[in-house]
Amino acid sequence: MKENLPTYLDSTKPMVTRTRSYAIAVNKRMNPVAAKDFNPETFDPMEGYPETEVGRRERKLPPARLPTKGMKPKEIREGQMIGMYETKQDLYLLIAWLSERVTDLEEELKNN
């Protein structure tokens, strides 16, 4: 069973080897496309999956006011692990709330 483990999880290997192996694995996950082929305008992490053809979303600048359907983020719980358990939805809703405040300030400045 151990022969199927990634090198970084194999406790029989030296820590230096495991650390290097982990760094390579993380880099591969974080950079799935070769640097020479990476285009931030067209990058699609779903490329190669069956859903890509029908579910592709184009990259474009978001509107000044992000849609929220009236939803608000959940209350923030404070503690040593603050932010650790926030959902992507809550983070999106916080960003939408902040972008609305910024847009209001920009409009106020423009009108004065």
pLDDT of residue 106: 95
Domain limits at 49? 1-60
Q: Same domain for 50 and 5?
A: yes
Question: In the predicted model, what is the mean pLDDT of residues 63-77?
Answer: 93
Question: In the predicted model, what is the mean pLDDT of residues 5-11?
Answer: 92
Chain segment 79-109, per-residue pLDDT in tens:
999 989 999 999 999 999 999 999 999 999 9
Chain segment 15-59, per-residue pLDDT in tens:
999 999 999 999 999 998 899 999 998 888 888 888 888 888 888
Neighbour count for residue 97 (Cβ, 10 Å): 14
Q: How far apart are the first and last CA of the chain?
A: 70
3-state helix, strand, coil in the chain (%, to 5): 45, 0, 55
Question: In the predicted model, what is the mean pLDDT of residues 62-86?
Answer: 93
pLDDT of residue 1: 45
Count of structural domains, the chain:
2
28 to each of 4, 19, 23, 33, how far by Cα in Å? 18, 14, 9, 8
User: CA–CA separation, 23 vs 16, rounded Å?
Assistant: 11
Q: Same domain for 70 and 112?
A: yes
Q: Same domain for 71 and 54?
A: no
pLDDT of residue 48: 81
Neighbour count for residue 7 (Cβ, 10 Å): 13
pLDDT of residue 5: 87
pLDDT of residue 78: 93
Q: Same domain for 50 and 95?
A: no
pLDDT of residue 2: 56
